[in-house]
Chains A and B, each alone.
Chain A
Amino acid sequence: MSTRVADAIPRREGGSTREPEPVAARTPAGLLLRSLAVGTAFGVLLVKSEAVSWFRIQEMFRFQGVHMYGLLGSAVLVGMAGIAALQRLGYGEPPGSGLDVLPKKESRGLNRHYWMGGAVFGLGWGLLGACPGPIYALIGTGATVFAVALASAVTGAWTYAALRPRLPHF
């Protein structure tokens, strides 16, 4: 890749913040290759950590093991530290101002769709034992039956698009 890492993201200069530039418009091939590379690492991690395992999800929801809690908890803590480090290096918003380098989810009213939609997602997660990342990963492991789960999930997303005007949001 011809562009350097630091070119992908504009740095904060003199306290003023610019929106991240549309990297895709500038180096589409580079963007896709970088996404592919990080995705590949994530795929290895999902499988080797057993986060893709139906058995591990059952163990989690039955509160019978620390594995999934440790996995998610340590991921969140390290992710926070990593983003904070980037901010200290001058990327995005300054530390203490909130995490504006990542998009903010709008919060108002009862925020109903977050927890209602979340509960519906959880019903599916508890049954299938795989969330979206692991659905793709399991197909990659050769478990082709998860292509059916993927088709169902896309159908679910399409059904949401159809029903969206009638569902509660916020």
Chain B
Amino acid sequence: MLDALRQPWPWYVAGPLIGLVVPVLWLLTGKAFGVSTSFRDICAAVTPGRFEYLRYDWRTGAWRFAFVAGILIGALIAVTVLASPDPVVGISEATRADLAALGITSRTGLFPSDLISWRSLGTLPGFVVVVLGGFLVGFGARWADGCTSGHAITGLVGRQLPSLLAVLGFFAGGLVSTFLLLPLALR
């Protein structure tokens, strides 16, 4: 049993379980599932009253900090008790070939350590991917009023037009990064 759980979970098992997070969280807490509001809450806690957007009691997001703390604990469980025996993520050979053509050859782990590591932060590709990428994720998620969890999952579950527009935006931006910015940064 544990051996089976240690394997990577196929999308048709993990996807439905992720979908259940929306109704289960709502039933247990009355809250709508979304992660990126935590970035706003952190800002509101650190620089309260500086901007109108941050003028509220960040403690209204206390439940979300507990949720986020849970994400860290769950992730730790997933790489210890439930650690996969094979450290290679089984992406398609076509993707491997494309990445190799860009100079990304590391295969093991959840992300390419030749691109994303403490040491790579000082290089142009590492800086672009981690620092600029993170900045755009935070800025864009707040401008769009939601991220993958709030729009692509909760919003689409609620059949909300704004969320569909946001998800189309996610993909447009992701394609530009994948086929333009990333190759430029890795040149």
Give A residues with C-beta under 8 Å from B. Answer: 5, 8-9, 20-21, 23-24, 28, 31-62, 64-68, 70-83, 85-86, 91, 98-99, 101-107, 111, 113-133, 135-146, 148-162, 164-165, 167
Contact = CB atoms under 8 A, between A and B. Distances in A.
B124 interface: no
Interface in B22-53: 22-32, 35-36, 38-40, 42-43, 47, 50-53
19 contacts: A35-B64, A40-B73, A42-B70, A48-B82, A49-B14, A53-B89, A59-B91, A75-B16, A78-B20, A99-B159, A111-B165, A117-B144, A122-B170, A127-B128, A128-B133, A132-B36, A136-B72, A152-B134, A160-B138
A114 B145 contact: yes
Question: Taking each of B62, B94, B147, B153, which has the highest tally of chain A beta carbons within 10 Å of its own beta carbon?
Answer: B147
A41 to B, nearest CB: 6
A153 B38 CA distance: 10
A119 B172 contact: yes
A117 B136 contact: no
Contacts, number: 526
Question: Taking each of A36, A67, A127, A136, which has the highest tally of chain B beta carbons within 10 Å of its own beta carbon?
Answer: A127
Interface of B: 5, 8-9, 11-12, 14-32, 35-36, 38-40, 42-43, 47, 50-54, 60, 62-64, 66-79, 82, 84, 89, 91-92, 94-95, 98-99, 110-112, 115-118, 121, 128-149, 151-163, 165-178, 181-182, 185
A46 B39 contact: no
A46 B140 CA distance: 21
Contact of B181 (A43, A126, A133, A142): A126
Contacts of B38: 132
Contacts of A47: 74-75, 78-79, 110
Given A31-B63, A99-B159, A121-B173, 11 more contacts: A35-B70, A36-B69, A58-B178, A79-B153, A114-B151, A125-B173, A126-B173, A133-B71, A140-B74, A148-B130, A153-B36
| Closest CB pairs A-B (n = 9) | A43-B74, A39-B70, A122-B173, A118-B169, A126-B177, A117-B143, A121-B140, A156-B138, A124-B136
Nearest to B39: A157
B67 A36 contact: yes
A71 B146 contact: no
Contacts of A125: 133, 137, 148, 170, 173-174, 177
A75 to B, nearest CB: 4
Given A55-B91, A74-B16, A157-B141, A38 B70 contact: yes
Contact of B134 (A35, A122, A156): A156
The interface residues of chain B, by DSSP majority, are classed as helix
A140 B91 contact: no
Given A38-B28, A154-B39, A44 B82 contact: yes
Contacts of A51: 14, 18
Contacts of B11: 49, 66-68, 70-71, 74
B154 A127 contact: no
Given A74-B19, A127-B128, A5 B27 contact: yes
Contacts of B167: 118
A50 B87 CA distance: 11
Nearest to A83: B23
